[in-house]
Structure 1
């Protein structure tokens, strides 16, 4: 798939991105793919290529760009290495909902200006931390998001004032959430709370459970599950076709 490496100007600097498009003539609907806690890397560029093959212009942002030229994480060892785990969580803590929204505005403006992309509203999809970002952006930048997806997303329901489920009244997008089994970051109780918030707000939404563990959709994650990952690709194909194309 054709890929463009670029940078998007944001209020806080310059966010490196890769834009992945289908072969052939555009323009296509745009989707922002938010990486998991490991950040933008080759795994997500490969995933973006696959989503592009379904007929979308897919943008993968470096959500950690405020940390400068950060060293990549090894997803096989990061959680077992105390120093690397500390570095990872320190970087995660800097990606606040305010930064997510400000960056999303810039990313959406970038997509809207690209000749490969059509329309002024877009899709979002994300994994783990990126799954939370996808819903936060749908709630904080609602006029620009038509379809928002979250896979094994964590922190979708918390006691914090900036919990994504509290943004339900602002969301205009259709929402899909794919939860992992035995996931302490998104429990059955969390799902019930999120479902009620979205239902009360009149948000078209789907919450489904996958018989796989947190990280099931991302190939370089230890819990990657091929069957669950294929199911997640089927879900994206169907959901974006219904609500974005």
Structure 2
């Protein structure tokens, strides 16, 4: 496997390439609200290790990070904006890579999980893996969605009940899916380590119960790998 910095248009990005000879299915990784940090780069590398040509654009790199985060969250709520254009550019770049089979999925975490849910119902995506992502304002955006594998933490008070609501919405629309809530886990439980700043502790620890939970993570990764391998197969 090889990985390193690259670009998506004018955005910095991280690309992770599986070992051996391709072609491989493609995957766009949409990062958490903390940005394209070591956790996200490590997860991109992990997905390449599972056989996916993975590209992760840094959506918070067009200026001051607080302003970029605000604009990105606004785009997520509206369902349109620069962030969606950037993710689409990443999808097109992966799909056009000669090492890609042409089938592309999206995997997202926290804020990125919200994007993955919205994108699931849009053309060009063959599978979506949202993780502790905020549900869309209206479930109608899931009409005609690609297959979805989603994971939530039962201790995450911010997203309480989201797994059950998503399961119901996908089932009602006949979308192939695998949605699971892990009682022992909180927000960001798939991260290898807790990189959140100390001043965010009241939110991350008391409300989100954020941080690694290796037992739940191992099961979730097994589900994600199997689901994406099935639905992104050439």
TM over 0.5, shorter chain: yes
Quick check: 1:168 aligned with 2:136?
Answer: no
Aligned to 2:16: 20
Contact 1:64 1:91 (8 Å CA) reproduced: no
Length-normalised TM-score, structure 2: 0.82
Among 27, 32, 39, the alignment partner of 1:43 is: 39
Aligned residues between the structures: 214
CA distance in 1, matches of 2:51, 2:144: 28
Among 111, 114, 120, the alignment partner of 2:94 is: 111
Aligned to 1:156: 135
Among 193, 196, 210, the alignment partner of 2:168 is: 196
CA distance in 1, matches of 2:35, 2:211: 17
Length-normalised TM-score, structure 1: 0.79
SS of residue in 2 equivalent to 1:65: coil
Aligned to 2:189: 216
Contact 1:135 1:164 (8 Å CA) reproduced: no
Aligned to 1:7: 7
What residue ranges of structure 1 are gaps of 5+ in the alignment?
A: 71-85, 158-162
Shift of 1:212: 0.7
Shift of 1:122: 0.9
**Aligned counterparts, 1:29-108, within 5 A:** 29-67=25-63, 70=65, 90=70, 93-96=73-76, 97-99=79-81, 100-108=83-91
Shift of 1:4: 4.1
CA distance in 1, matches of 2:175, 2:63: 35
Quick check: 1:130 aligned with 2:112?
Answer: yes
Contact 2:27 2:52 (8 Å CA) reproduced: yes
Instruction: Summarize the Cα distance change of 1:89–1:54 in structure 2 as closer, same or farther, 3 Å threshold.
Output: closer
Aligned to 2:124: 144
Quick check: 1:239 aligned with 2:227?
Answer: yes
